[in-house]
């Protein structure tokens, strides 16, 4: 772990994650100036999207934009991940999810673990969400189902991509 920035993940935080399947870090991960550069980078990617292409189409953007590794492999991110899963860290995927104001699409209920179903164990994989904007109830914040990681993988049904950001949703 690097000591170039303050990271305040406690043993209790890690245990909460293991017990409940999620953890919300309530402090900025990056210093303000560095975070503003990330916001500007993302704004540039959005501005450069071809007409008609939706932001969620930016899957694994680090392949097309190697400078994104500055953010994904930053000490702040790696130290945070290491606190939960140890030092053997691999970047498997990255994507931006952006819901333009008023577009009416919703992110369907899903488990990130569906992307690695039966390939990796839940204790080997950690999804890190770096929110670019504030996430509030008014603008469609992320919600989680605590302890759902204890029930195995869920079944999915196809949903309308015209009204949903993704094409599949957990069966209710």
Question: pLDDT of 51-107, one tens digit each?
Answer: 888 887 778 888 888 888 888 999 999 999 999 999 999 888 888 777 777 777 888
How many Å apart are CA 133 and CA 131, to the nearest integer? 6
- Average pLDDT, whole number, for the chain? 83
Question: pLDDT of 103-139, one tens digit each?
Answer: 778 888 888 776 666 666 655 778 888 888 887 777 7
Has residue 168 got a pLDDT over 70? yes
């Amino acid at each position: 772990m690097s000591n170039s920035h303050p990271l305040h993940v406690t043993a209790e935080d890690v245990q909460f994650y293991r017990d409940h399947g999620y953890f919300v870090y309530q402090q900025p991960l990056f210093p303000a100036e560095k975070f503003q550069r990330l916001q500007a980078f993302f704004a540039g990617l959005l501005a450069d999207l071809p007409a008609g292409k939706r932001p969620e189409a930016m899957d694994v953007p680090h392949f097309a934009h190697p400078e994104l590794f500055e953010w994904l492999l930053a000490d702040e991110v790696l130290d945070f991940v290491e606190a939960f899963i140890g030092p053997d860290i691999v970047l498997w995927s990255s994507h931006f999810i952006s819901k333009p104001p008023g577009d009416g699409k919703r992110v369907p209920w899903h488990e990130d673990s569906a992307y690695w179903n039966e390939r990796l164990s839940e204790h080997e994989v950690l999804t890190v969400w770096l929110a670019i904007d504030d996430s509030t109830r008014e603008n469609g914040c992320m919600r989680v189902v605590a302890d759902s990681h204890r029930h195995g993988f869920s079944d999915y049904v196809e949903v309308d991509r015209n009204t949903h950001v993704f094409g599949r949703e957990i069966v209710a």
